[in-house]
Amino acid sequence: MAQRILVTGSNGYIGGHLTRHLLTLADTELFGLNQGCDSKLAPKHSLKGDVLEADLTGWLGQIQPDVIYHCIGASPKAPFEHQLRVNAEGTRRLLQALVDTDLRPGVIVVGSAAEYGLRDAPVDENTLCQPQGEYGIAKLAQTHIAQSFARRYDLPVVIGRVFNVYGQTGRQLAVASLAAQIAQAEVVLPSPAELNVFNLKSYRDFIHIDDVVSALTAIGRLISQKALAGQVYNIASGQSTALSTILDLLLSHSTLTADQHQQLQFIFHGLQQEDRSWANITKIQEQTGWRPQVDLNTGLKQELAYWRTNVDQTVDRGKSSSSHSFS
């Protein structure tokens, strides 16, 4: 019998990559929930609605999912009130709908490294969360709600805390922003090319989107076998890498010559000061057998190749290539 899986936010970044992977699996019937239709899915499997307003009880009663990947989330750039509503209230509505329909599927909630805040040492799942921004606060509220439902109703809900994911995504993320700008510089040089960068002294735990997908599905298999409730799993590489190193690696894989490197005009935004965030991933490795497979060097080569086929090839060669920031 086919396993019935629901992916909320199947049109989003993580949810979209996860959905494409799940569609390749046998014995799986896949559903997606989004504000718009998901062209990857058959119309009857693409549920259109807002997680804050949709009839989740009715839909869940019809679908009867075995596993739910809850990937819907608000952008860190959204107003704080909206972040709280989508991340916290949206999650509460989903889990309450499961209680109301007396369903007990395994639920994997996608969390964030921002819940921990910045640290001088790798964090494990028992580290006290001290978010330092509105996004981290909103995601931690989501985690508290998920764990509360797990305790009160014995729901098999777990949280996958994703660190700095990259790979085939929009320019709003750090690695993509740099890769897109370098790919554009390959087009416009020898005309002036600007690279907008933020804090190159930041150290982050970068993980490729393919490894995030494999980690989430590994947790999905585990939760199907064991009645886990309220557990947190770090999804990361376990390595701390400076953003300056990311920039150097991307430039080393570019077609730019050494002389062209010297022509790049760096526009720095914000303070250049060291801060760190990275994970201990022992728990997910020991309990699921999962290991990250895409090394950073390979992933950055792929990212640059992706942006070479997606940058604006018709850019005015007399103008700078991009105004996107590096954060």
Tell me the CATH architecture of domain 167-204+239-276+294-308.
Alpha-Beta Complex (3.90)
The DSSP line for 169-185 is --TTSHHHHHHHHHHHH
pLDDT in tens, 91-115: 999 999 999 999 999 999 999 999 9
The confidence score (pLDDT) of residue 224 equals 75
Distance of alpha carbon 93 from alpha carbon 33, whole angstroms = 14
pLDDT in tens, 7-45: 999 999 999 999 999 999 999 999 999 888 778 888 889
Distance of alpha carbon 130 from alpha carbon 30, whole angstroms = 36
CATH fold for the domain made of 3-165+206-235: Rossmann fold (3.40.50)
pTM above 0.95, yes or no: no
pLDDT in tens, 179-213: 999 999 998 877 768 899 989 999 999 999 999 99
- Domain segments of the chain: what residues? 3-165+206-235, 167-204+239-276+294-308
Neighbouring residues of 312: CB distance < 8 A, sequence distance ≥ 6: 184
pLDDT in tens, 218-248: 999 999 777 688 999 999 999 999 999 999 9
Mean pLDDT across the chain: 90
Neighbouring residues of 207: CB distance < 8 A, sequence distance ≥ 6: 162, 163, 164, 165, 166, 235, 236, 237, 292
- In degrees rounded to 5, what are phi and psi of residue 311? -75, 165
Question: What's the token pair of residue 11?
Answer: 């049109």
Q: Which residue has the tokens 């416009």?
A: 188
Determine what percent of the chain is predicted with pLDDT higher than 90. Answer: 75
- Angle of helix 56-63 versus helix 90-100 axis, rounded to 10: 50
Q: What is the CA radius of gyration of the chain?
A: 21
